[in-house]
Structure 1
């Protein structure tokens, strides 16, 4: 675990699980920009530390890089011991998934190894279960908190050749709905964000305040991909929206935004 700045935010901790070069990094940057102490968690601590340095430097925030393997319950517990030692967790964003199919080509069902299938389920849904259990007691005690789960097109429809991803994301969606119904009456906002499309690199490298705002154009790249900085704005607005407007699921696509 590394501290990237000398001052500590008087807000709670924003824990972002599953931070890569696109959406996870943009979400972490947004919460750092808004004054949160941010804990970013992923398996590759070397790359994670580079992201932490970058975000801390850009946003003049305190950022901690913590290694986690979401497929192992012990790793999750140890990682969140580190997170909770920083203070109370006000925001948990679960953005992790297991991608053994790196070329995104359909796999014949008979060729899928059970170990790969189990790993995908472990990361997409069991890991989310463990992470939520680490932070919910503190959120309930304070009567406030936000948990945001990242889903995708596979959360809604079975896709031939991708049963590993679909089964894990289906389970994550069910988990988010169960937690929302149980804990939103206790003051904890739980929402499932469906990224229904490709996420590309950030459109702009300027400061967060100059980036695309939610409600503005979220796509526009030649490949039709969405801007992760614009998507991060949506995660932020879900966190700060009035309790009377709390939603359990939001579907984002390059064409429209639908609330449920």
Structure 2
């Protein structure tokens, strides 16, 4: 685990599913670090995590890189046990996903299962372990990143929709079970394409087609996550959808 932190009494925000510097996971980590929390970032690429940590530190924030595979229960448990020695886990964000689109007749079962493991199973294991850490204190926020596919299936989206819809049900179940114990669980439906590295580098024609008003700004998405964490417990939101104003729905 690498990076800088204020050990001991630090307030931690653990964000899993952090990849590119210009991505949703990194933006959420930056947002929480901006508010004085230590951002713990988890993803499969130590190199990408190091870029994110350096960027947060350059802005005056504190961050730690905790590489791991969220489909492996042992990785989740080990990372959590290490970061709990550094401070109090106040926020857990599950942003992992591996969008895989293919016509149903061309989609093999192994690919379907892999998508589900990252998009849904990992979310359950993450949420369960974060709840364990938060329950003794009777407070905490757990946020899950959803998508349009959380709400409806479309052609070629069987694997991704199944995973995201499953994650939505996990978040609802955790919310109903643990909200009375003081744990705020919320699900964010990101409805639209995101102005981040993935779209801008891999699908530039889509970005051009959408135009300046057709993509979600990653920092604006991160603001929504911070808003959910800050909500007073007398008026908690469980599900929040965000989309560009020009997006039809």
TM-score of the superposed pair, with normalisation by structure 1: 0.84
1:238 to 228, 236, 243: 228
RMSD over aligned Cα, in angstroms?
2.0
Contact 1:4/1:53, CA 8 A, preserved across alignment: no
Contact 1:66/1:82, CA 8 A, preserved across alignment: no
1:15-30 correspondence to structure 2 within 5 Å: 15-21=14-20, 22-30=23-31
How many Å apart are 1:11 and its aligned residue? 4.2
User: Does residue 191 of the first structure (1) align with residue 206 of the second (2)?
Assistant: no
Q: Unaligned stretches of 5+ in structure 2?
A: 198-209
Contact 1:8/1:62, CA 8 A, preserved across alignment: no
Q: Which moved more, 1:149-158 or 1:244-253?
A: 244-253
Per the alignment, residue 77 of structure 1 pairs with 77
> How many Å separate the matches in 2 of 1:83 and 1:159?
39
> How many Å separate the matches in 1 of 2:172 and 2:90?
19
1:200 to 195, 205, 208: 195
How many Å apart are 1:77 and its aligned residue? 2.1
> How many Å separate the matches in 2 of 1:45 and 1:62?
17
2:156 to 152, 157, 161: 161
CA displacement, residues 95-119 of structure 1 (integer Å, 9 cap, x when unaligned): 00023x4xxxx52212112111111
> Compared with structure 1, are the counterparts of its residues 138 and 71 closer, same or farther at alpha carbon in structure 2 (3 Å cutoff)?
closer
CA displacement, residues 56-77 of structure 1 (integer Å, 9 cap, x when unaligned): 111x222111111112222222
Per the alignment, residue 63 of structure 2 pairs with 63
* Higher fraction of helix: 2
Per the alignment, residue 112 of structure 1 pairs with 107
Q: Which moved more, 1:77-86 or 1:107-116?
A: 77-86
Contact 2:49/2:65, CA 8 A, preserved across alignment: yes
SS of alignment partner, residue 69 of structure 1: coil
TM-score of the superposed pair, with normalisation by structure 2: 0.88
Q: Unaligned stretches of 5+ in structure 1?
A: 203-219
